């Protein structure tokens, strides 16, 4: 009877948790116009937190620190707005040129294919999709330009939220401790862990993205690809979207190189080689080494989070999907009832190492027992040395999110 009651209560709690989760996601989707600027302002705060802490250590007055950071963010917003307007204007002027290049590429590819497969005379890839690509491109760019005021409004809201977060940053923890004397310390530690871990992720990601953008820019300059600054900025922006972002921007650059340089295939090959090499080295070698295992998120969970947050908030949701999921993981890890969720969305490497550690100990004990029975005696690595090899390069465990082992 007790088992049935326990099973029933577990089912009820699970059902309630699912319902609450769906309700929260629905509210977030409906309140996108308010939620997105608020979340972006919070992540801007986390991105600038290391700089603010450094200014505090230098005993810079809070007023000067806040003014400096606000001026820096305003400069970034103004620079982004200027870049958007200039890029759209340049692309609109280049559309007729690229439209002719697309037609030429279509004829070239059709001629190449006709040498292998018999095609009707006048066959064209563009004819399969009867779309006026030039008009479509111009209308799309014009719509982006018309949305500039909407981008300005969002940036203004983010800027205001960010200002008040800066003004409140030194009073948040004292207020939490005063409001909840018993659980306040746990909340304060959790907030500090979120701030430290996500700030480090965003800072390292910004550095890696900056180098990615720089190398894409240099690739465009060296190969003569048009609009090198555009490709550098796009590489920087899309690098914040794990896996998918790098594929999108690399594919886009190669397609534009194909349109511009064909039939000079060597130039296209150089663009493809340099951009893919940049993504492979920075994205698959340097980035994982710098980031380590600090986020401890499953790759599958990262892809799911990209889909979920992209569905809820569109493209902005995909940019903040990973740090937002990391924040949720830390919260779940510090709430007893939600701890299994934090474990399930973790990478699981710590548990693999724990299992390997136990196997090493078991093998060591069996060898010792066998040696005692046979009377043999020879030196072998200690169990501590073998265990140390297992944990080499281990940064965190789910029990200590955000902290090195």
Asked, for residue 309, whether it belongs to a domain, the answer is: no
Q: What is the pLDDT of residues 164-207, one digit of tens each?
A: 888 887 777 677 667 666 666 777 777 777 777 778 888 888 88
How many independent structural domains does the chain possess?
A: 3
Question: In the structure encoding, which two tokens stand for residue 392, read together?
Answer: 């080499």
pTM: 0.72
Domain shared by 42 and 67, yes or no: yes
What is the distance, to the nearest Å, from the Cα of residue 125 to the centroid of all Cα atoms in its chain?
36
Asked, for residue 301, whether it belongs to a domain, the answer is: no
Asked, for residue 19, whether it belongs to a domain, the answer is: no
Domain shared by 142 and 246, yes or no: no
Residue 188 CB-half CA count within 13 A: 17
Asked, for residue 236, whether it belongs to a domain, the answer is: yes
Asked, for residue 342, whether it belongs to a domain, the answer is: no
Cβ atoms of 324 and 194 within 8 Å: the answer is: no
Domain shared by 359 and 391, yes or no: yes
By C-alpha distance, which of 314, 346, 273 is closest to 32? Answer: 314
Strand partners, 297: 346
Q: Identify the pLDDT of residue 218.
A: 94
Domain shared by 166 and 188, yes or no: no
Q: What is the pLDDT of residues 330-348, one digit of tens each?
A: 777 777 777 777 777 776 6
Dihedrals φ, ψ of 338, to 5°?
Answer: -100, 0
Domain shared by 150 and 285, yes or no: no
Nearest-angstrom CA–CA distance, 340 and 398? 10
Domain shared by 212 and 260, yes or no: yes
Angstrom CA distances, 101 to 95, 104, 195, 296, stand at 10, 5, 49, 46
- Burial label for 147, CB within 10 Å (0-12, 13-18, 19+), is exposed
List CB contacts of 91: < 8 A, sequence separation 6 or more.
137, 141, 227, 230
With the CA atoms of 244, 249, 253 and 258 taken in that order, what torsion angle do they form, in degrees rounded to the nearest 10?
30
Asked, for residue 4, whether it belongs to a domain, the answer is: no
Domain shared by 156 and 203, yes or no: no
Residues spanned by the domain of 32: 27-170
346 three-state secondary structure: strand
Domain shared by 86 and 41, yes or no: yes
Q: Identify the pLDDT of residue 392.
A: 43
Cβ atoms of 322 and 295 within 8 Å: the answer is: yes
Q: Which of 261, 278, 294 is the last residue of a domain?
A: 294
Cβ atoms of 327 and 277 within 8 Å: the answer is: no
Domain shared by 243 and 377, yes or no: no
Asked, for residue 54, whether it belongs to a domain, the answer is: yes
Q: Identify the pLDDT of residue 134.
A: 56
Which stretches of the chain drop beneath a pLDDT of 50? 378, 383, 385-405
Angstrom CA distances, 238 to 32, 91, 279, stand at 21, 19, 12
Domain shared by 43 and 158, yes or no: yes
Domain shared by 128 and 222, yes or no: no
Q: Identify the pLDDT of residue 74.
A: 92
By C-alpha distance, which of 396, 217, 241, 381 is closest to 318? Answer: 241
Nearest-angstrom CA–CA distance, 26 and 19? 11
Asked, for residue 360, whether it belongs to a domain, the answer is: yes
Domain shared by 149 and 195, yes or no: no
């Amino acid at each position: 009877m007790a088992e049935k009651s326990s099973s029933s209560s577990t089912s009820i709690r699970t059902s309630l948790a699912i319902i609450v989760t769906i309700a929260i996601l629905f509210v977030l989707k409906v309140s996108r116009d308010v939620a997105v600027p608020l979340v972006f302002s919070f992540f801007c705060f986390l991105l600038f937190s290391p700089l603010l802490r450094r200014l505090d250590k230098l005993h810079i007055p809070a007023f000067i620190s806040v003014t400096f950071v606000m001026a820096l963010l305003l400069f970034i917003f103004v620079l982004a707005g200027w870049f958007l307007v200039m890029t759209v204007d340049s692309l609109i002027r280049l559309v007729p040129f690229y439209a002719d290049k697309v037609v030429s590429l279509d004829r070239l590819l059709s001629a190449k294919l006709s040498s292998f497969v018999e095609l009707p005379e006048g066959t064209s890839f563009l004819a399969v999709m009867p779309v006026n690509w030039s008009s479509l491109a111009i209308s799309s760019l014009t719509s982006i330009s018309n949305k500039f005021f909407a981008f300005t409004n969002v940036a203004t809201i983010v800027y205001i939220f960010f200002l008040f977060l800066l003004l409140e940053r030194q009073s948040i923890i004292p207020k939490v401790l005063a409001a909840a004397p018993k659980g306040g310390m746990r909340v304060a530690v959790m907030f500090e862990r979120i701030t430290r871990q996500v700030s480090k992720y965003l800072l390292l990601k910004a550095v890696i993205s900056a180098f990615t953008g720089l190398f894409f820019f240099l690739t465009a300059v060296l190969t003569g690809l048009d609009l090198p600054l555009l490709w550098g900025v796009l590489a920087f922006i899309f690098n914040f979207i794990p896996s998918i972002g790098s594929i999108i921007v690399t594919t886009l650059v190669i397609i534009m190189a194909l349109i511009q340089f064909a039939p000079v295939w060597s130039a296209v090959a150089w663009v493809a080689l340099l951009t893919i090499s940049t993504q492979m080295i920075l994205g698959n070698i340097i980035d994982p080494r710098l980031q380590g295992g600090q986020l401890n998120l499953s790759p599958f969970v990262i892809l799911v989070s990209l889909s979920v947050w992209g569905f809820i908030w569109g493209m902005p949701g995909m940019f903040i999907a990973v740090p937002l999921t990391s924040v949720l993981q830390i919260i779940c890890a510090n709430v007893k009832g939600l701890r299994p969720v934090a474990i399930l969305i973790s990478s699981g490497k710590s548990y693999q190492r724990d299992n390997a550690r136990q196997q090493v100990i078991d093998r060591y004990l069996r060898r010792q027992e066998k040696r005692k029975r046979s009377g043999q005696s020879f030196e072998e690595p200690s169990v501590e040395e073998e265990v140390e090899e297992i944990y080499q390069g281990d940064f965190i465990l789910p029990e200590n999110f955000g902290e090195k082992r």
